[in-house]
Amino acid sequence: MKNLFLVMVFVSVAFLNAFELNTLIEAPTAGILAKGESEITANLYKENGLVIGTKVGLFPRFMFGVNYGAENVVGNKNPTWHKRVEFNAKLRFLDESVKYPALAIGYDSQGHGSYDEEGKRYDIKSKGVFLVGSKNYELLGNIGFHLGFNYSLENENKDDEVNVFAGFDKTLGDMLVLTAEYDTAWNDNEDIDLDEYVDKNGRGYLNSSLDIHFTENLVLKISFFDLLQNREDTEGCDRTLTLLYYMTF
């Protein structure tokens, strides 16, 4: 019985880590897709928005991705197609060891929610240029901790401070992963053009998600953004659904 239990634990951990976690919800981790691995995502958000994206592990330590989408994809209104394609890239320059976390640098121009042409920003700004570290431990499965710094290029409102974000992920059994992240939003407290939307209290953005791993290739992510209601137009929280499909080539 003891040997059977150990085998079940090993299989569960191996199953959930078949593809390394490279993003929590919006916050990047130091995880990357291995060379030859790819990730396809379909993100459903407010105003019937849909963003389709893909990431590819081009080299052993480098991955690259693109995103494109629109609002009003479902419904009786004409779709509002985004005017540009968003890009992301990440290079891990230090692998995780027993003593030290993994470290990665990267760039991501995809923010969360709708894009405002006047303010030239997303509801929650993209990370832009970032540096992030990740460390994982064994605790009834896997638990990972992540800490990073970023500088968003969505600075039309002149609020261009360096930002800090942190988060964790925890496996729950052999199918579920709980993630949470917090963004200080130091670069989103003095929004000159969009004062009617952004709370001045500086609460930051607290997001959480539950990932359901139906197979090692197919994941449903149920996400809850802005749980602290930093934005005045958020009621309760901002809810999204994301489908992720992993494959190798």
> How confident is the model over 157-176, as pLDDT tens digits?
667 789 999 999 999 988 99
Rounded distance, CA 119 to CA 19, Å?
37
Domain boundaries, the chain: 2-248
Rounded distance, CA 209 to CA 177, Å?
8
Rounded distance, CA 39 to CA 211, Å?
15
Pairing of strands 37-45, 238-248: antiparallel
Per-residue tokens: 212: 């359901």
For 9-42, what is each residue's pLDDT tens digit?
Answer: 444 444 444 447 899 999 999 999 999 999 999 9
Residue 241: what pLDDT? 97
Work out the pLDDT band at 236, boundaries 50, 70, 90: confident
Question: Locate tokens 């200080």: which residue?
Answer: 184
Per-residue tokens: 59: 């080299």
Q: Which CATH architecture has domain 2-248?
A: Beta Barrel (2.40)
Contact between 147 and 166 under an 8 Å Cβ cutoff? The reply is yes
Neighbours of 244 (CB within 10 A): 20
pLDDT for residue 83 is more than 60: yes
For 39-69, what is each residue's pLDDT tens digit?
Answer: 999 999 988 999 999 999 999 999 999 999 9
Work out the pLDDT band at 150, boundaries 50, 70, 90: very high
For 93-108, what is each residue's pLDDT tens digit?
Answer: 999 999 999 999 999 9
